[in-house]
Amino acid sequence: MQLSSQEQINYCILRDSIADPVIARSIGLENKSRKKGSKKKHSPALDSPTESNDDAADLADFIDYLATEVFAALPLELRDISYATINNDSILASQYDVPLLPETFAYLITVIPSSVVDSLVAYSFLPSSDDIPNFLLPLLEEYISGAVKAPHPNDPAKRATACEICERDWIPLTYHHLIPRQVQAKAIKRGWHEEWRLESVAWLCRACHSFVHRLATNEELAKQWWSIEKLMDREDIQTWAKWVGRVRWKSK
């Protein structure tokens, strides 16, 4: 599949959006299997994050496969969507506004290849094909949000060259507001932080960015986890970083 420069960027965003739930569920499936004491079913997705690098490579291959199949099936305007395109096309902006309109999502469900659904069910990521909407909706909305995000206002020279959690330097980075914008006014009013600190960011890959937001609410992030050093002091962040840092993508 030949991709334009914008499509290559968006492919990476989609792949990271897929990686987050797939990696999280693979760890959950492994833990569930251990609790039951059952024999582990062979699957690249079910290998423990504490096992060999080959396990992570298998999982990366599976995620690559899912991302390639899903991305190729998306409408062209969605594969090429960006901050510029939605600001120049009000119809496109309305159609792919997040949260997605029910009719837009219903259409996108129809273009997803059956092979993707079958693979997710076969490897126990989904109980049945009926659960694909619950899996796909947050994934697509995260992809669109990432693809249309405005350029970072800070000096590009200050941008990190590798994810500040997992240290991977071969994948696209996003900026994480260490004091989330949704609670910045409250942070100032209640004296949690001085105003100058509000624009502090950490440069994270999409998988690590999503993982951080799953760990704590915006208020908790603002009050307790407002620096990369504080985040890296957490044992769950350290464990995640070691695991996801071994997941490598094949070049497109």
pLDDT, tens digit (0-9, with 9 covering 90-100), for 156-212: 445 678 999 999 988 888 889 999 999 999 999 999 988 878 878 889 998 999 999
3, two tokens? 């991709």
Q: Considering the entire predicted model, what is its pTM?
A: 0.62
Element (H, E) at 70: helix 53-73
**The pLDDT value given to residue 46:** 39
**The pLDDT value given to residue 48:** 40
In the predicted structure, residue 11 carries a pLDDT above the cut 50? yes
Element (H, E) at 54: helix 53-73
In the predicted structure, residue 38 carries a pLDDT above the cut 90? no
